[in-house]
Structure 1
Amino acid sequence: MAQRLIAIGDIHGCRTALKTLLEAIDPQRDDLLVFLGDIVDRGPDSKGVIDDLIELGGRTQLVGILGNHEEMMLEVLRHGGDHHTWLRCGGVETLESYGFDGNLDFLSAEHNAFLDSLGDYFQADEFFFTHAAYEPDVPLDAQDVDRLRWYSLTAGIPGPHQSGLTAVVGHTANRSGEIVDVGHLICLDTYCYGGGWLTAMEMKTRTVWQANQRGELRQNG
């Protein structure tokens, strides 16, 4: 059993905020940290963020969810997909963080392995974690990946999932920097890359840590 179950919202290349957050959380070996996707793009140091998460995975339990930004990135880098949308959505910053020189084969073996480890959803205790949303009446293992990665809560918050588990998601940025909690769904994307906060929540106690790109920290417990 994990000592603490901690979910962390969309990092989007905000390495300073991530470092500040992790220093405050001080993850231990028996903690379980779940990253909700959109680790890359928009912010200044996606490469550094992945470096830090790989290092973190060596000293605590870590689960990562695949977000729509990882999907866009991998579609371009691995499958020759159209790059225009990715570049408009923060891919330029990601390429710059890797020192892009025109060669798309720039991911190290470690970074490829980390990206391959990201899943569509994760279930622990009375919670399930995914990037964007879900279909309420569809079992978790039968969900459409577009719904899991791309659906915006601005189009409507889905009802409770048939499993009875509480959903913990990111993707839909709340520019006020506040967590969205409607009981059966909690959204932890608090707009870090746009000047807001990177949010972590310990799910059992609802302790919250938030850090920004200025290295500032706020905490509710």
Structure 2
Amino acid sequence: MRNARTLVIGDIHSGLKALEQVLQNAEITPADTLIFLGDYIDGWSQATETIDFLIGLNKTHNCIFLRGNHDALCYDWLVREADNPLWFKHGGEATVNSYKNLDEKRKAEHLQFYENLRNYHLDRANRLFLHAGFTNLNGVDFEYNKVTFYWDRTLWELVLALNPNLKKGDARYPKRLSHYEEIYIGHTPVTRIGKTTPINAANVWNIDTGAAFKGPLTIMDVDSKKYWQSSPVHTFYPTEKGRN
């Protein structure tokens, strides 16, 4: 029997068909721990179907669902029922359309799903998982503004600009990185730097491979660093624009 794995999944953005394909490619089992980095919706047309699928998956598998900025925006819209033109422009329109025919029972289940999302997860190997980043030099427990966990981009900018020869323990090594063995994030697609595979800089791994745009959806084994990818997500939705 294969050993249980810890698998991290990048930003889905309503690409349910790609999610189903990549879970099959990775041959997941109920013994695996599945850590989802957030942004389950906003992009492609299957927002409500994606949340339904994840709710069902959580009943049969060990899932950890983290909060993304798009999830927070959607939750705010569902609760307040107020228009947010900026969110609408950046993927929210497809989500609003997907929710038009949702019955009250399913809506309540979705609200509970969004409410139960975690801001971050720290495992026994001192590996940190969160959607975006953090800014406090003393680590996530000291972060005073919780929205930073799902909005920050400075963590990723920092490690991309860091001298790759600088090692942990050096006096110039960024203190906020030193608290964790590894850090796994999404939020900022690696397609912005011309990549479509998981990228490592310092001790940070970015798993957002651009599923909202022209890239694939990615799952990675955090121990072996082996990863699996779907076909480019836009190919499942040829008549849609996604977040392009």
TM-score (ref. length: structure 2): 0.79
Partner of 1:169: 185
- Pairing partner for 1:187 from 203, 206, 219: 206
Assess if the C-alpha contact under 8 Å between 1:28 and 1:59 holds in 2.
no
**Separation in 2, partners of 1:42, 1:111:** 17
The equivalences for 1:1-221 within 5 A come to: 3-98=4-99, 100=100, 108-124=107-123, 125-135=125-135, 137-143=137-143, 144-153=145-154, 156-157=157-158, 159=174, 160-175=176-191, 176-212=195-231, 213=233, 214=235
Q: 1:52, CA displacement in angstroms?
A: 1.2
Q: Deviations over 1:98-138 (max 9, x none)?
A: 2x16x997852221221122110001123110001122513
Query: Between Structure 1 and Structure 2, whose CA radius of gyration is higher?
Result: 2
Q: What letter corresponds to residue 188 of structure 2 in structure 1?
A: T
Matched residues in 1 for 2:55 and 2:7: separation? 17
Report the CA distance between 1:51 and its aligned residue.
Answer: 1.2
User: Residue deviations 1:36-70, cap 9 Å, x none?
Assistant: 01111011211111111111111110011111001
CA RMSD after TM alignment: 2.3
Number of equivalent positions:
212
The residue number in structure 2 matching 1:218 is none
Aligned partners of 2:93 and 2:62: how far apart in 1?
A: 31
Point out the structure with the larger strand share. 1
* Identity within the alignment, %: 25
Specify the SS of the correspondent of 1:7.
strand
Higher mean C-alpha displacement, 108-117 vs 37-46? 108-117
Gap runs ≥5 in structure 2: 160-173, 237-244
**SS of 2:212 mapped into structure 1:** helix
> Hey, what's the Cα distance between the residues in 1 that align with 2:14 and 2:219?
16
SS at match of 2:229: strand
Give, as a single letter, the amino acid of the residue that structure 2 aligns with 1:203.
V
The offset of 1:32, in angstroms, is: 0.6
